[in-house]
Amino acid sequence: MSYLEYSVKSTPTGLRKILFMNWPLTLLLISVACVGFLMLYSVAGGSFTPWAEPQMKRFVLGLGVMTVVALVPIWFWRNMAVLAYAVSIMLLIAVELFGTVGMGAQRWIDIGFMRLQPSELMKITLIMVLAAYYDWLPGNKTSRPLWVLVPVLIILLPTFMVLRQPDLGTSILLLMAGGGLMFLAGVHWAYFAAVIAAGVGLITAVFQGRGTDWQLLKNYQYRRIDTFLDPSSDPLGAGYHITQSKIALGSGGWTGRGFMQGTQSRLNFLPEKHTDFIFTTLAEEFGFVGGFSLLGLYTLIIVFCIATAIATKDRFSSLVTLGVSINFFLFFSVNMSMVMGLAPVVGVPLPMVSYGGSAMLVLMLAFGLVQSAHIHRPRGAPR
């Protein structure tokens, strides 16, 4: 599949590669980022500071990162996968030792020009290492217990480290993205059935363990779950976020209350309105039309990723692209479920829209891999 009507027999070279990037995907990413700028401008009360302007700068930086990553051949990234994974693990250890405590959790290391969240980086390096693993592993061994155990350990190691920070949201995302990749790679479905059964058991254990010495989650995490299950039980306390978020979203109606006219966000009833709850502002000000449009843009990004993955013959490329798309999907679906009251508040930002440097840069890096896979897809004679 070729989006530009160039007929090339072999992989392009040099800066010409830029022309062979997945341009529709790039334009979609830019569109989504622009929605983000618009909303950050709105929640700041019609001002580029303090959020919209830094976000724009970071996005430009992100585009640069994406392009650089895209220009590097995908096989280089495959070879780098294990190293990247190791570095991420070390950074997670570093954050455990020297990290800054924020919101009751150790999550970032201040490295001068930005705050690095190793757990964000881990999301992408985990996908890379798993994709490289399954690219390397012969297909007939995929479902053998020993060869299943290896990726399971690869996933669980960072998951537990992130959970210890403690960042429940990210650890669940890691688990689901990793599991999703294993499923795509062709691991027998019976393993997943077993894990789901075990998961049900674990959830039971989490709830049974509450209040005992061996309780598995922090108290605030339990409270978030309680709040999720019944937000009205504590409308001015922990349930406040969910309740206000639902009010804002619902009051948007079909076409919303107009740009910068959302009372819930303008009058600060919305919590974290520039980060986790930014979708609520969008839905309040632009209504169902606005919210559905953003959902459409996200869906198109996923569709283009899947198309890229199916089109390429390179297994690593396919798996990385799909892994990135799953990750991206998890981001926005969990965030939207959260603000709509379908999931507990776990602190997952809306990708490309929420204010935040780390998350956006890592995402752009990930899309750089997708672009690289697209540019460097095997061409030439059909089989």
Partner 1 sequence: MKRNPRELETTHRKLNRRTLLVGGIQAAFVGGLAMRMRYMQVDQADQFRLLAEENRINIRLIPPKRGEIFDRNGKIIGQNIPSYRVVIVREDAGDVEKVIENLTRLIPLNDEELARARTEMRRSAPFLPVTLADRITWEDISKVAVNAPALPGITPEVGLTRVYPQSDDFAHVVGYVGPVSDYDLSQITDPEPVLRIPRFQIGKVGLEAKREDLLRGKAGAKRVEVNATGRVMRELDRREGQQGADLQLTVDAELQEYVQARLGDESAAAVIVDCETGDLRAIASAPSFDPNLFVRGISLADYRGLTENTYRPLANKTVQGTYPPGSTFKMITALAALEAGVTGPDDTVYCPGYLEVGSRRFHCWRRGGHGHVDLLNSLKQSCDVYYYEMALKVGIDKISAMAQKFGLGVKHNIPMSAVARGLAPNRDWKSRVHGQDWLVGDTANASIGQGFMLASPMQLAVMTARIATGRSVSPRLVKSANGVEQPTGAGEVMDLNENNLRRLRRGMYAVSNERRGTAYGSRIIADAFRMAGKTGTSQVRNITAAERAAGVIRNKDLPWERRDHALFVGFAPFDNPKYAVSVVVEHGGGGSKAAAPIARDVMLQALYNGQPPLEAYPKKDRSRIKAQQERLQGGRRPKARPDGKDRA
Which residues would be at the binding site for partner 1 (CB under 8 A)?
A: 136, 138-140, 142, 180, 183-186, 244, 246-254, 263-264, 266-269, 283, 287-288, 291-292, 295, 298-299, 302-303, 306, 309-310, 313, 315, 318-319, 322, 326, 329, 333, 336-337, 340, 342, 383
Query: Closest separation between CB of residue 118 and partner 1, Å?
Result: 27
Query: Closest separation between CB of residue 331 and partner 1, Å?
Result: 12
Q: Which is nearer to partner 1, 106 or 263 (CB)?
A: 263
Q: Which is nearer to partner 1, 117 or 354 (CB)?
A: 354
Q: Which is nearer to partner 1, 71 or 278 (CB)?
A: 278
Alpha helices in 137-167 (DSSP H): 145-163
Classify the phi-psi angles of 246: left when phi > 0, otherwise alpha if psi is within -120 to 50, otherwise beta. alpha
Query: Closest separation between CB of residue 143 and partner 1, Å?
Result: 11
Q: Which is nearer to partner 1, 100 or 255 (CB)?
A: 255
Query: Closest separation between CB of residue 182 and partner 1, Å?
Result: 10
- CB 369, CB 73: distance < 8 Å: no
Q: How far apart are CA 19 and CA 16, in angstroms?
A: 6
CA distances from 167 to 25, 65, 173, 211 (A): 30, 26, 10, 20
Q: Which is nearer to partner 1, 99 or 287 (CB)?
A: 287
Query: Closest separation between CB of residue 101 and partner 1, Å?
Result: 26
DSSP assignment of 82-131 equals: HHHHHHHHHHHHHHHHHPEEETTEEEEEE-SSSEE-HHHHHHHHHHHHHH
Query: Closest separation between CB of residue 183 and partner 1, Å?
Result: 6
CB atoms within 10 A of CB 13: 8
Q: How far apart are CA 164 and CA 192, in angstroms?
A: 25
Gyration radius of the chain over CA positions: 21
Classify the phi-psi angles of 186: left when phi > 0, otherwise alpha if psi is within -120 to 50, otherwise beta. left
Q: Which is nearer to partner 1, 100 or 299 (CB)?
A: 299
CA distances from 88 to 148, 158, 175, 225 (A): 22, 9, 16, 29
Q: Which is nearer to partner 1, 185 or 365 (CB)?
A: 185
Please say whether the dihedral angle defined by the alpha carbons of residues 365, 370, 373 and 375, taken in this order, is positive or negative.
negative
**Phi and psi torsions of 292, nearest 5°:** -70, -35
Query: Closest separation between CB of residue 97 and partner 1, Å?
Result: 37
- CB 198, CB 129: distance < 8 Å: no
Q: Which is nearer to partner 1, 317 or 358 (CB)?
A: 317
Query: Closest separation between CB of residue 340 and partner 1, Å?
Result: 5
